[in-house]
Amino acid sequence: MRFYAISGSVRAVSVHSAMLRAFRDNAPDACEVVLCDLLESLPIFNPDREGEATPQSVLEFAHEVGKADALIVAAPEYAHGIPGGLKNALDWLVSRPELIGKPVLLAHAYSHGRGHYGLAALEEVLKTASLQIAPNSPFSVPLVGRSPEETKDILSEPAVRRSIRTALEALRQWVVTLS
Ligand SMILES: Cc1cc2nc3c(=O)[nH]c(=O)nc-3n(C[C@H](O)[C@H](O)[C@H](O)COP(=O)(O)O)c2cc1C
């Protein structure tokens, strides 16, 4: 089963991207996690450029989403909302077929109640775009505020690696029940 993992942060030392790399590196045999690196290549969404005029980078992104059995989305909260680049990417797909009914696992890197506005906003957008949010969402590892070294250490802990495998296996089993 193929999962397409989208980080809402394009920062080089993003904790959200680090979490998604840990998903990729700890995936059980039955699952493959492919990391999205296309957000920065997408132009600003313009409905005039849908259909025949759709940019190549958008077609590539849509193709990756379309061939995934599920998405995994990890995004920081920016000003209590969704990062613009992620919202832009989702806006490109809202009128296309690839997102319809797509299962999605949300991953959350905050602790102490932080980030809940961003998470709620993300859920609202995804539900509006007809995605199905995995019952084991949000998968949570508190990483925001940690240094890259600390982030690496936390994501290497055996208990965290086990919880990632368990989350991916639960996602796989849930996706099977949907088909
Ligand atoms: C433009 C901007 C806006 C932010 N807004 C919030 C916010 O509303 N709430 C919050 O808890 N953190 C906020 N932060 C802090 C981020 O949550 C934090 O930097 C996080 O680590 C970013 O994720 P990343 O490491 O994956 O890039 C903001 C950061 C930036 C750059």
CATH number at residue 76: 3.40.50.360
Provide the residue range defining the domain that includes 106: 2-178
Q: Is the CB of 85 under 6 A from ligand 1?
A: no
In contact, 93 and 62? CB cutoff 8 Å:
yes
Q: What is the predicted pLDDT for the residue at 179?
A: 85
Q: What is the DSSP string of 38-104?
A: -GGGSPPP-GGGSGGG--HHHHHHHHHHHH-SEEEEE---BTTB--HHHHHHHHHHTTSSTTTT-EE
Q: Residue 7: pLDDT above 90?
A: yes
Q: What is the predicted pLDDT for the residue at 34?
A: 98
Q: Is the CB of 15 under 6 A from ligand 1?
A: yes
**pLDDT tens track for 31-52:** 999 999 999 999 999 999 999 9
Q: What is the predicted pLDDT for the residue at 113?
A: 87
For residues 132 and 28, give the distance between their C-alpha atoms in angstroms, rounded to a whole number.
22
**Overall domain count for the chain:** 1
Q: What is the predicted pLDDT for the residue at 86?
A: 98
What is the band of 73 on the pLDDT scale with cuts at 50, 70, 90?
Answer: very high
How many angstroms separate the alpha carbon of residue 75 from the centre of ligand 1? 9
In contact, 70 and 170? CB cutoff 8 Å:
no
